Amino acid sequence: SQQGEEDPQALSIQEGENATMNCSYKTSINNLQWYRQNSGRGLVHLILIRSNEREKHSGRLRVTLDTSKKSSSLLITASRAADTASYFCATDNYGQNFVFGPGTRLSVLP
Amino acid sequence: ETGVTQTPRHLVMGMTNKKSLKCEQHLGHNAMYWYKQSAKKPLELMFVYSLEERVENNSVPSRFSPECPNSSHLFLHLHTLQPEDSALYLCASSQDPSGSYEQYFGPGTRLTVT
């Protein structure tokens, strides 16, 4: 069964704006990861946040995790055209399975 | 470069052909994965190998046959495929299969079945 579910499915913003994507999941997790995929290419790992963490930063990326709401958000600040890609969350429920969500397609317009 | 390579990058095959996809990781990881990515569908985990032993097989049709001769190489043997098998096939590796570590993906093989 699908675990992570990203929202929105597609997002279009202007360069310089912030982009926020959300991920909801159903069962308890050990960690949650965010990945980026440029069109037709492999996925690139962005951030891993563990269940006992609430927030992590990496450059222009900020990830939050709310285990009580079973949700996570990925914020990209000061977006650039190069940020145009699909973004996926993936959840690990203690080794039971590792499941990717359907993704959010982000378009950053120059 | 992620340290995971896949060949070929593109493959067109008929339904009666037999072909193989190859994946190699240069990261010293112990786990390797095959994923299928179809248009408008979430990434589907097909197989997981840990130290050359298959640890997960997600009800994949037998026309897909994986092989892991050592911890650095992973193959996906294809035979009598269907047009609906056309997709991007991604290989990945991680430190172990527990889900506690990030996965490193190859660029994928774009497969078209005619």
Residue B79 CA from chain centroid, whole number: 15
- Report the residue from A2, A42, A103 with minimal CB separation from B105: A42
Q: What percent of chain B has pLDDT over 90?
A: 76
User: How far off is chain A from B103, nearest CA to CA, in Å?
Assistant: 7
Phi/psi of residue B89, each to 5°? -105, 120
pLDDT tens-digit profile of B66-108?
999 999 999 999 999 999 999 999 999 999 888 888 999 999 9
User: How far off is chain B from A12, nearest CA to CA, in Å?
Assistant: 18
- Nearest-angstrom CA–CA distance, B95 and B31: 6
- Nearest-angstrom CA–CA distance, B73 and B44: 20
Q: How confident is the model at residue B41 (pLDDT cuts 50, 70, 90)?
A: confident
